[in-house]
A and B are shown apart, each in its own frame.
Chain A
Amino acid sequence: MRALALLVALAPAVAGAYPQFQFQTGAVRCNQCHFAPAGGGLINGYGREEAGDTISLGGDGSFLHGLWTPPSWLALGGDVRLAGVLNNVGADFGTEVEAFPMQADFYARAAVGAFSAYVKVGYRGTPRSDTAPPFSRLVSREHTLTFRPDPVGPYVRVGRFFAPYGLRVVEHLTFIRRYLGFSTLEETYGLSGGYVSDDWELHATAFVPSFSRPVGYREKGGAAYFETRLGLAAIGAQARAGFADIENRLQAGVVGKYLVEGPNILLLGELDVVRQHFTDADASRAQLVGYLGASTFLVRGLMAQLVLERYDEDLAVKGVARTAFGASLQWFFHAHFEAYLYGRWVVDGSGSADGASSKLVMLQVHYYL
């Protein structure tokens, strides 16, 4: 049971978004490597070339390693991750050791002119798997229809996807993913429009909860993200309003990205403030969520990253803040392959004596088609 709980708790919601690659690899906008207007998910031809020629130590980044090339109107891909974890959340039982399949997602995109259809289908873990029919465990976290005449320029997208907001880091455990409405399976249905250029991009989205499988607060509302790039730096601002039966949440924040050229270190930062009102309880709280990361390619194919995070779930109450320290090494030893070693230490309670801590060490092996 614990393994199943861990499987669901640690499974990535959107694997495939690596903002750490921005600027460091020469790409200035996310959709240089991804089909999606705001990045994430299936990578395009340029992204596959970069994966093989720039990021990995070698190999052919093409679909199926170049053994078969889909017709030009069709793009296919997939992500498979296996994970092993040492997990200690301060329980009497000590450290758990688990290994499990973490992700199996497959992507297809068909395009005709400026129109494209995209679907991502995966398999989710559930303890009901013994009795539930296998197809009930299939989940499509993303499926969209997009009108985009050109990768640079305006676009309109409708379907199921996360509204572009802040840094879209891959690890959903990060506070900016987990507590701001972007955790696993929380993808909403939305209508999004925007404009993407080399110098700036703007995304605006109206969203409602998933019709068939809502998760979390089940908010409907809107979100916007704007990012402008100044040489090897970018500054972004975001806002989101969500309205649900039990609460309303207004949040806004800023994003900063800066490539320190000499040592080639990319600094990523995000800070959000949240005002949440609980309707039935007639109570409100203000929250603060922050992320500060530094990443660099030590050598080609090997990326190191340090992260400091902060989540204060109620600024008026002492002892409910959490601080996380993270470190990771990502080894792209061959095109399509990644070995990912990730450590995370979360301390709660503002350093109080009774504060608990959580420690996680995870080793992932990731293969993309």
Chain B
Amino acid sequence: MVRRVIAGALLVLAYGACGSDVDDRPATFTYIHAAILVPNCTTSGCHSAQAQIGGIVLEQREQSYVYLTLERFVLPGQLHNSPLLKLLRGREIWKMPPDQAIPEADIRLIEKWILAGAKDD
């Protein structure tokens, strides 16, 4: 009984490896903000309006876009120079989020948006 429960649970947990190789998620800021930034950056009280760690608030879409572009965390079309990407990968600087990394596939989606001009779309 116990073995069957554990085997079943492991099977279900392993199911997540079955996604598509083609990432057809929209590379728009609206999607990236809602699907990646909010759950990874504004929870735990970090970049919420309440905690404002580093003076950064990423909860609201418009506020996030203005901050990331005006403060030059994102440089349209420039993957190697955009500090946001260095932060997410922990290159030459500390890594964000500080407790668990964002998957590379999500970072590549952000790269697609930056390459396309980092529009307010």
Contacts and interface: CB of A to CB of B under 8 A. Distances in A.
On whether the two chains bind one another, the answer is: yes
A283 B25 contact: yes
A186 interface: yes
Contact of A319 (B13, B19, B95, B96): B19
A164 B48 CA distance: 24
A310 B13 contact: yes
Nearest to A212: B50
B54 A127 contact: yes
A91 B90 contact: yes
Interface string B42-72: 1111101111111100010100000000000
Given A178-B44, A320-B105, A8 B51 contact: yes
B98 A89 contact: yes
A92 interface: yes
Nearest to B86: A92
A267 B98 contact: no
Interface in A136-158: none
Contacts of A213: 49-50
A246 B54 contact: no
A126 B50 CA distance: 9
A216 B105 contact: no
B39 interface: yes
Contacts of B116: none
A26 interface: no
A278 B103 contact: no
Interface string A255-270: 0101010000001010
B35 A358 contact: no
B101 A283 contact: no
Contact of B103 (A128, A288, A320): A320
B103 A290 contact: no
A317 B17 contact: no
A89 B105 contact: no
Contact of A318 (B39, B50, B55, B105): B105
Nearest to A324: B100
A360 B91 CA distance: 19
Contacts of B17: 318, 321, 350-351
A65 interface: no
A283 B92 contact: no
A346 B100 contact: yes
Contact of A269 (B5, B95, B105): B5
Given A10-B99, A91-B90, A258-B2, A317 B105 contact: yes
Nearest to A279: B34
Contact of A323 (B13, B51, B101): B13
B98 A5 contact: yes
B82 interface: no
A135 interface: no
Contacts of B98: 2, 5-6, 9, 87, 89, 96
A70 interface: no
Nearest to A210: B50
A20 B39 CA distance: 27
A289 to B, nearest CB: 10
Given A280-B61, A308-B13, A317 B43 contact: no
A369 B20 CA distance: 51
A298 interface: no
B26 A89 contact: no
Interface in B81-121: 89-106
Given A258-B2, A321-B19, A352-B104, A215 B50 contact: yes
Contacts of B10: 292, 308
Contacts of A246: 33-34, 38, 61
Given A292-B9, A313-B35, 9 more contacts: A5-B96, A8-B51, A11-B45, A93-B90, A179-B39, A185-B48, A214-B49, A311-B16, A350-B16
Interface of A: 1-2, 4-6, 8-11, 87, 89-93, 96, 124, 126-128, 172-173, 178-179, 183-186, 213-218, 246-247, 256, 258, 260, 267, 269, 271, 276, 278, 280-281, 283, 285, 288, 290, 292, 308, 310-323, 346, 348-352, 354-358, 360
Interface of B: 2, 5-6, 9-10, 12-21, 23-26, 28, 30-31, 33-35, 38-39, 42-46, 48-55, 59, 61, 89-106
